[in-house]
Amino acid sequence: MKTDLLTRRGARRLAAVCSALGALAVTSAALAPEAAAVDVQSKEWYLDAMGAQDMWKISTGKGVKVAVIDSGVNPATSSLKGQVLVDEVPKSVAYHVTQDYDGHGTSMAELIAGTGAGGGIKGLAPSVKIIPFRIHTSGMKDAEEISKTPDEAEAIRAAAGTDAKIINLSLGGIAPDDAVKSAIEYAASKGKLVFASAGNEGNKGNLPSYPAAYPGAIGVAAIDKSGTVGKFSSYGNSVDLAAPGLNIPSWCDGTFTEYCDSQGTSPASAIASASAALVWSAHPDWTANQVLRTLIDTAGRSWPKNKPSKYLGYGGIRPRRVLINKDINPGPASVDPLAVENGTSVTPAPSAKSPSGKPTKEAGSSSGATSAAAKDSGSGDSTQTWVIIGAAAAVLIIGGAGFAVLRARHNA
């Protein structure tokens, strides 16, 4: 990208977006989607681990819309045909939202809502509809394209004004931005759940990642099929939950001809968003606070809930546990379950009570995983614990250091 093409928003966006657009690691041989349906979907190990078949008997996400703020979403892939609501994107931010130069945003949309048709990715919530937003400037050709593409804050505010109940931000960077912080608080006040990737800097200095570190954002760490946190997954006060994020299929690039294995907290955020959509679809009268509270209460962990892990927050997300419990108590509608971490008393408005009523890649993606039982100066616990994440047979290891560390402020 040439700096002489930047407009009035360019300087700020360049710093934030370049930070957010570290390469998502692709680590295995590519798979041609039209010819490899079984191969691609067999790589979606987390569907079995989370008990997807059992969950889909109760909820597939029908009636819920998710705003995907990313590199754009290609609605023409076999898995997304009929899933993307381009007409619901506000006109002010609708410029070329379906032009995805690198495939990242399309991959996140498929992980959430893909139907699996034509050999594509099967999303965790295949009846969800996607409202696409494009903010990334990577690969954009000229000054007009850059100037007409909204920045992150503009896109979040626009998404907050749609019928999307959930906003997915599979992006992040180390540079804070007051406008983005304010936009996320605004979205939360409108009754939206905002999931954000925790960041991929865990083994590269572990600087705070934004927007995950802002109040109102739910930071999601990445775990592998054994339940172990990825060594790249950023840790600290901004981690609220964990979700699968290693060895996840995604588009290799923006040609949409092959799938590759990928890893990062980007797919973890998308899978968390899909999890929330399953729950909200089954309980359309719940508020964002209630959906999030039940996901926190049922998260897989072996440490006290009031002492979140700095690696995994409240634990591995388990929407199945919410869906199968007909007597689950969602708690008060207007109380933020992350009020302590957020350092705020902001309570979402009841604007998202029902579906009918009238939300990128990160820098420094890396491979491999490391036990969360790495030494934590704030805890003497360095053992590994066994936690069931999804179906009864899916037992995953989650490391144990940091489990006695009570987080203070969400964006400390």
Catalytic machinery residues: 70, 104, 266
Helix or strand or coil: residue 217? strand
Pair 91, 157: CB distance under 8 Å: no
Count of residues in the chain: 412
Listed in sequence order, the residues at least 6 apart from 2 whose beta carbon sits closer than 8 Å to its beta carbon are: none
Q: Are 228 and 372 in contact (CB under 8 A)?
A: yes
Judging by DSSP bridges, how do beta strands 129-134 and 166-169 pair with one another? unpaired
* Span between the terminal Cα atoms of the chain, in Å: 32
Question: How many C-alpha atoms does 212 have within 13 Å on its Cβ side?
Answer: 35
Neighbour-count burial for 368-379, b at 16+ CB within 10 Å, e otherwise: ebbbbbbebeeb
What residues contact residue 326 under an 8 Å CB cut-off, 6+ apart? none
> Residue 155: what residue type?
A
Distance of CA 408 to the CA centre of its chain: 23
Distance between CA atoms of 313 and 82, rounded to whole angstroms?
A: 35
Closest CA to 89 of 105, 111, 104: 105
Helix ranges (DSSP H) in 326-385: 339-342
User: Where do we find the tokens 């969360």?
Assistant: 372
Q: Which amino acid, 116?
A: G
Element spanning 243, H or E: strand 241-244
